[in-house]
C-alpha cells in the first residue's frame, strides 16, 4: 500500500508541474515585426505596410470592442474588429454563430483620368461558418496595441476569389472612444 501511495503522490506532483509549466494559447503570442505605428502583412505573398498617419487601434464601446484600421499610400487597407475584446489574448475570426470578430482587406484602384472608373475590391473574413484566421493581441498599454494576425478573405461581392493574409503584425497607437 505504501508503494501505491508513493506512486500516486509522484504522479500527482508530476501532473501539477506539467500543467502549471505549460504556456496558455490565450496569452496573445509574440509581438510580430511591425515598425511602431504601422501594420504589416503579406497578401498572397506580397508585402503590405501601412502608413503611420492612417493606422490606429481604437478601443470602443466601454472597452468591449477593438477596431484596427490601417491603410497604405496606394489605397489598400485593412480593417479588423474584435467584438467582446478583453485585452491580450487570442481571438478567432469565424468558427461559429457566436463569434463576431471580423477582418477585411481592401484594394482600391483609382483611375486618375476618369475617377468614375475607379474600383474597390474587398476580401472579407469570415465568409462562412468556419474559422479562417485569428488575431493575437500580445500587449496593450495606455498608448499602444501590439499583436499579430492571419486570415483568408473572400471577395464575396466580386469574383469570389480568396486572398491569404499571412505574417500580419501591428504596433499601433491606441485611442479610446
Q: What cell was used for 95? A: 468558427
Per DSSP, the residues of 58-80 read EEETTTTEEEEEEE-TTS-EEEE
Q: What percent of the chain has pLDDT over 90?
A: 75
CA distance 142 to 175: 9
Bridge partners (DSSP) listed for residue 91: 135
**Among 30, 53, 34, CA closest to 42:** 34
- C-alpha 99: how far from its chain's center? 14
Please state which of the ranges 26-30, 35-39, 73-77, 169-173 shows the lowest mean pLDDT.
26-30
Whole-number average pLDDT of the chain: 86
CA distance 49 to 39: 6
Q: Which residue pairs from 106-112 have beta carbons closer than 8 angstroms and sit at least 24 positions apart in sequence?
A: 106/76, 106/77, 106/78, 106/79, 107/75, 107/76, 108/75, 108/76, 108/77, 109/75, 110/75
pLDDT bin (cut points 50, 70, 90) of residue 26 is low
Q: What percent of the chain has pLDDT over 70?
A: 84
What are the helix (H) ranges across the chain? 2-21
Cβ neighbours for 109, distance < 8 A, ≥ 6 positions apart? 75, 118, 119, 120
Q: What cell was used for 104? A: 477585411
pLDDT bin (cut points 50, 70, 90) of residue 27 is low
Q: What's the pLDDT tens digit per position in 64-84?
A: 999 999 999 998 999 999 999
pLDDT bin (cut points 50, 70, 90) of residue 94 is very high
Higher per-residue pLDDT: 118 or 145: 145
CA distance 39 to 45: 15
Q: What cell was used for 161? A: 476569389
Q: What cell was used for 7? A: 506512486
Amino acid at each position: 500500500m505504501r508503494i501505491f501511495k508513493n506512486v500516486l503522490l509522484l504522479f500527482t506532483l508530476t501532473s501539477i508541474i506539467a500543467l502549471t509549466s505549460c504556456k496558455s494559447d490565450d496569452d496573445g503570442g509574440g509581438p510580430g515585426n511591425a515598425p511602431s505605428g504601422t501594420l504589416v502583412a503579406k497578401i498572397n505573398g506580397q508585402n503590405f505596410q501601412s502608413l503611420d498617419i492612417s493606422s490606429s487601434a481604437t478601443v470602443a464601446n466601454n472597452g468591449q470592442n477593438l477596431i484596427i484600421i490601417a491603410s497604405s499610400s496606394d489605397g489598400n487597407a485593412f480593417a479588423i474588429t474584435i467584438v467582446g475584446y478583453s485585452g491580450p489574448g487570442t481571438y478567432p475570426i469565424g468558427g461559429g454563430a457566436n463569434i463576431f470578430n471580423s477582418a477585411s482587406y481592401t484594394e482600391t484602384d483609382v483611375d486618375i483620368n476618369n475617377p468614375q472608373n475607379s474600383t474597390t475590391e474587398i476580401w472579407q473574413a469570415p465568409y462562412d461558418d468556419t474559422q479562417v484566421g485569428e488575431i493575437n493581441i500580445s500587449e496593450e498599454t495606455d498608448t499602444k496595441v501590439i499583436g499579430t494576425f492571419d486570415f483568408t478573405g473572400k471577395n464575396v461581392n466580386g469574383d469570389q476569389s480568396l486572398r491569404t493574409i499571412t505574417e500580419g503584425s501591428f504596433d499601433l497607437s491606441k485611442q479610446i472612444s
